[in-house]
A and B are shown apart, each in its own frame.
Chain A
């Protein structure tokens, strides 16, 4: 048993704004976005056409042929981010005990383009044409399984599916494993389904921006908020027991996972308040941290007016109007579903390291009810930072909050 908060010692990032953590971070600080018209398929016939698509990623540069044949884009991104995180933390899983390393990731829809191709073969050519890899290449557990196999990780592992809240829930679950005795866990999430079949699934939410202007499409808290832009990618984190990190002389500690909580919204027909505020309060209590100790909030930033308003209300309720800087660097990557929580935690840890809050881009005039937010707009803001709060909400009613603290 370990009661210490676990620490993060490695980061791996794959996103539209960078194919490794430091490139991503530099672009985020510069406010350089990665949203553009979808190139992977022709989106002309659909009502929404923009995404945070990952380009210039050469899977063959990162993965052997054997793995390329059996993986969707999302698994290739995941494996790449996991390898980066392990290298960053200088972890050699083989040097740890047989069952000392676990993998807990979040997923929203699995390897969806792989699945679309196999469905197409089945229905246009027949069952004999379906790939031998279909049974696992698309399903929600694929990234955890492939990371575990590639790096020989045999410890307690898992997969959470709670839409956009999943990345934080995965980190929360990894922390449970560490507390129960596992030395180290690879966690977070990398997600995305930029294929026509995945795209129409996302369009069904009614929350995807129809704008064709990358600078006007995803405007959380703005009076012109008109939905969000989906993206692909995310982050994988190496988390470990503080003592284990010290013992193996980990090259750095980015910070600790000090608090976590999850709640669920009431059913739509019940006249009860949403659960985000409660998730924040529970995570703060879990971290033994008064609201006044939080130096920056990484918002969920739905980009949907009523959801933005609910988040602003929760933040103002907990912190007091304008009392804490709030930011949404996901305005540069798009919303990454299960990839979002891990990437926001990674971004928050880099903020703590460099004592600077990355900006929210493209947002101009704040909406009524959101004006009291101290939203960090346009340019990065240097600030003394010790603790950050990261929020995520999943469609359906999932809420999750994580508190991270500088080492």
Chain B
């Protein structure tokens, strides 16, 4: 028995505005949410820009105890999950806890809390034998980010399968796929799944500086994330979360729930090449796309929009362009493909889920979000990247792709629901 899985609710915490509505307004306006880092003094670092969320946990219903206990990324996930549940019109009290699953993707877990606690315990790096008397009683929850799934599960009363998926920057796509599989195989009827990361912390900035992966365009932070542009020179670190209510199609129909999109295909592959490098031909990502199309029994020409990984590093954007051409052939040239990282930055493990939210909203609204800051395309990136302005377009099927450190390459296909869309 393989059930069909649909998205009936979504919640987003993203730079530029909290909530799905603010998120979609930002994406379709073409404005950007990248700025000079405000969380700490970034002046010692090579890259000093990020896409930060203006997030007040109390304003979104978190108690002081929750705020004290949870890492920022866990807070994002709980808030996004609550929005998704409300959006789906789920009455939690009426659901069977045993049939509810929870899946959260995260690439780097509770980095901010861990670094904060490390600084205390080590007296700013002065002690190898760190002091356990001064740290948070919740240190273990930061040490093992399985706690993110626990917090979301507690907040919605779920007692079915729960997991954190951590595959670097494909965590978000992979977590949504894991959630969908729990429904498809019958392990759960409703899964609240998505991803969250809050990595804007000195150690993260320093580690990407060390490999020059992030942009040094510090003098123009609002235009620092430039996927596919010839002047691009690295990604802009971001943060955020997107969470979804996934359920089986029959269940959604029975309760008359509006559907954003059906998850019709997914596949992941590894490049087995390098922990951070990409082979220029893009063949593993192309294989993931082909395999996802196979699962969906879909022809490449059905795809109306490609949501790109589009991180804005030199190698990624060429790799990805090659992969999409390999998989979609001539149709690649006829398909709009954009990177929302130009506006909301790259929130590592979270971004894959945030991009799924963008795809679901694109299908529902019939609008393709643009690639901001794209003025002069790289000659080797010769597809239609929807520069600067959103575009109206009816979308029946959408492809979202991701690429992560560790060599992970993932592809997901979402389709417009049959009958009336949401």
Q: Does B159 belong to the interface (CB within 8 Å)?
A: yes
Q: A99-B269, A119-B122, A141-B404 are in contact. Are A201 and B45 (CB under 8 A)?
A: no
Within 8 A of A (CB), among B88-107: 97-98, 102, 106-107
Best-surrounded residue of A123, A139, A166, A262 (most CB of chain B within 10 A): A139
Contact B271 A160 (CB under 8 A): no
Q: A134-B203, A134-B210, A136-B405 are in contact. Are A196 and B143 (CB under 8 A)?
A: no
Rank and list the top 10 A-B pairs by shortest CB-CB distance, nearest first: A145-B406, A123-B125, A201-B143, A124-B125, A396-B150, A140-B166, A267-B154, A127-B206, A204-B139, A200-B132
Contact A154 B213 (CB under 8 A): no
Contact with B along A358-396 (1 / 0, CB 8 A): 000000000000000000000000000000000000111
Residues in A neighbouring B256, C-beta threshold 8 A = none
Q: Does A45 belong to the interface (CB within 8 Å)?
A: yes
Q: A161-B144, A161-B166 are in contact. Are A140 and B161 (CB under 8 A)?
A: no
Within 8 A of B (CB), among A238-274: 261-268, 270, 272
Closest to A205 in B: B140
Q: A131-B210, A132-B210 are in contact. Are A398 and B272 (CB under 8 A)?
A: no
Interface residues in B, total, Cβ within 8 A: 85
Contact B144 A159 (CB under 8 A): no
Contact A160 B124 (CB under 8 A): no
Contact of A264 among B145, B160, B208 (CB under 8 A): B160
Q: A145-B168, A145-B407, A160-B164 are in contact. Are A127 and B145 (CB under 8 A)?
A: no
Which residues on B are within 8 Å of A, measured CB to CB?
44-46, 97-98, 102, 106-109, 115, 118-119, 121-122, 124-126, 128-132, 135-147, 149-150, 153-154, 157-168, 174, 178, 181, 185, 187, 202-203, 205-211, 213, 267-276, 284, 287, 291, 404-408
**Can you give 6 contacting A-B residue pairs, CB < 8 Å?**
A134-B206, A134-B210, A141-B168, A160-B166, A394-B146, A398-B162
Contact of B143 among A109, A135, A176 (CB under 8 A): A109
Q: A120-B122, A156-B269 are in contact. Are A263 and B161 (CB under 8 A)?
A: yes
Residues in A neighbouring B46, C-beta threshold 8 A = 127
Contact B162 A197 (CB under 8 A): no
Residues in A neighbouring B167, C-beta threshold 8 A = 141, 144, 157-159
Bound CA span A329–B387, Å: 60
Contact of B140 among A157, A160, A395 (CB under 8 A): A395
Closest to B109 in A: A140
Q: A127-B44, A135-B405 are in contact. Are A200 and B153 (CB under 8 A)?
A: no
Which residues on A are within 8 Å of B, measured CB to CB?
41-42, 45-47, 70, 98-99, 102-103, 107-109, 112, 116, 118-127, 130-132, 134-136, 139-142, 144-146, 148-149, 151-163, 166, 169, 173, 176, 193, 196-205, 261-268, 270, 272, 275, 278, 337, 394-398
Chain B nearest CB, measured from A200 CB (Å): 4
Residues in B neighbouring A136, C-beta threshold 8 A = 168, 275-276, 405-406
Residues in A neighbouring B157, C-beta threshold 8 A = 266-267, 270
Contact A141 B121 (CB under 8 A): no
Contact A148 B407 (CB under 8 A): yes
Contact A155 B107 (CB under 8 A): no
Chain A nearest CB, measured from B280 CB (Å): 16
Bound CA span A128–B124, Å: 16
Closest to B275 in A: A136
Bound CA span A98–B409, Å: 14
Contact B211 A135 (CB under 8 A): yes
Contact A201 B287 (CB under 8 A): no
Contact of B406 among A134, A142, A156, A162 (CB under 8 A): A142
Contact A146 B161 (CB under 8 A): no
Contact A41 B129 (CB under 8 A): yes
Residues in B neighbouring A141, C-beta threshold 8 A = 107, 166-168, 404-406, 408
Bound CA span A160–B126, Å: 33
Bound CA span A189–B291, Å: 27
Bound CA span A261–B182, Å: 11
Residues in A neighbouring B213, C-beta threshold 8 A = 135
Bound CA span A154–B410, Å: 12
Contact B141 A396 (CB under 8 A): yes
Residues in B neighbouring A156, C-beta threshold 8 A = 267-269
Bound CA span A45–B118, Å: 17
Bound CA span A149–B167, Å: 14
Residues in B neighbouring A266, C-beta threshold 8 A = 97, 157, 159
Contact A264 B159 (CB under 8 A): yes
Q: A134-B206, A198-B143, A266-B97 are in contact. Are A120 and B159 (CB under 8 A)?
A: no
Contact of B273 among A125, A149, A155, A205 (CB under 8 A): A149
Contact A155 B128 (CB under 8 A): no
Contact A154 B154 (CB under 8 A): no
Contact A201 B139 (CB under 8 A): yes
Residues in A neighbouring B208, C-beta threshold 8 A = 135
Residues in A neighbouring B106, C-beta threshold 8 A = 161
